[in-house]
Chains A and B, each alone.
Chain A
Amino acid sequence: MSSRRSSRGAISEEEINELISKLQSLLPNARRRGSGQASTTKLLKETCSYIKSLHREVDDLSDRLSDLMSTMDHNSAGAEIIRSILRS
């Protein structure tokens, strides 16, 4: 991050707003919102939902991978594949 705290050690309101808008732009369905606590609450809520959905995706993909790996283990191909990838 390029923004730094002011020399007093506290963070300025400007920096907080910049942080909030950067976070806003990361989330899906990023829309322009006004400042204020109602939108901060919404931002926090959407961030939590987004992290939760990303966790779910990782879970699903891990499940899928572990199923694929069990298929490959039966063919005794899994270890060979991983070895050859790491060799390259």
Chain B
Amino acid sequence: MRGPTAKAFKQGFLRSFLLSLKSCRTGDMSLQERKRAVRSSADAAMATARGGGAIWPRALLASSSSSPSSSSWPGLLLNAAKVKTTRCKSTARRCCRPKRSSSEMIARRLVRKRTKILRGMVPGGELLDSVSLLREAMDYVVHLRAQVAVLRRVSNAMHHMAATSYLTGLDLSRLAQGLLHRVCN
């Protein structure tokens, strides 16, 4: 992700993330509940900040939401991506060809196996053909890295802030401004 795009994504992510945490009322939660809430807020914020340029954000939001509208997203997905049935046709043709060497068959089987695993790791991957899956995986990896980067800076900054305010009694809102500046730049 290039500079301005990365910065815009990180800022959007941070904003959505903090808004989501704020609305969660984490103060009333158990430790496990809060951990889950933070994790799902982070994922929802990443998907929201990414927007409509890929499939995985919608899949991620659909899997975390319990609203009835989420059941319709596979239909939206099939309109946007290549349908799996076209792949099955070419597979049938391959089966009718003369036998290949067993090492080649093993290699093919491994590729299929690995592709299947990758499908499970990319949100929405199950409905994509292998080429779209590779594109989605790339996009997903790039945004996962940005998510990790922002979360790390937020937790470092919050840790620093908590320690500083405890020791110095400094005004927390001023420290918070510094956090926002450090995290987004």
Report which A residues bind B (CB closer than 8 A).
1, 11, 16, 19-20, 22-23, 26-27, 36-38, 40-41, 44-45, 47-48, 50-52, 54-55, 57-59, 61-66, 68-73, 75, 77-86, 88
Contacts and interface: CB of A to CB of B under 8 A. Distances in A.
A23 B162 contact: no
Nearest to A41: B110
6 contacts: A26-B142, A41-B114, A51-B121, A51-B122, A62-B35, A88-B180
A61 B155 contact: yes
A23 to B, nearest CB: 5
Interface stretch (B61-69, B70-78, B91-99, B144-152): B144-152
Contacts, number: 144
Interface residues of B, number: 54
A21 B111 CA distance: 16
Given A57-B148, A58-B39, A79-B22, A65 B154 contact: yes
A73 B159 CA distance: 13
A71 B147 CA distance: 23
B177 interface: yes
A57 B111 CA distance: 27
Given A41-B114, A81-B176, A88-B180, A52 B121 contact: yes
A52 to B, nearest CB: 7
Nearest to A42: B114
B174 to A, nearest CB: 8
A85 to B, nearest CB: 5
Given A37-B107, A59-B39, A70 B148 contact: no
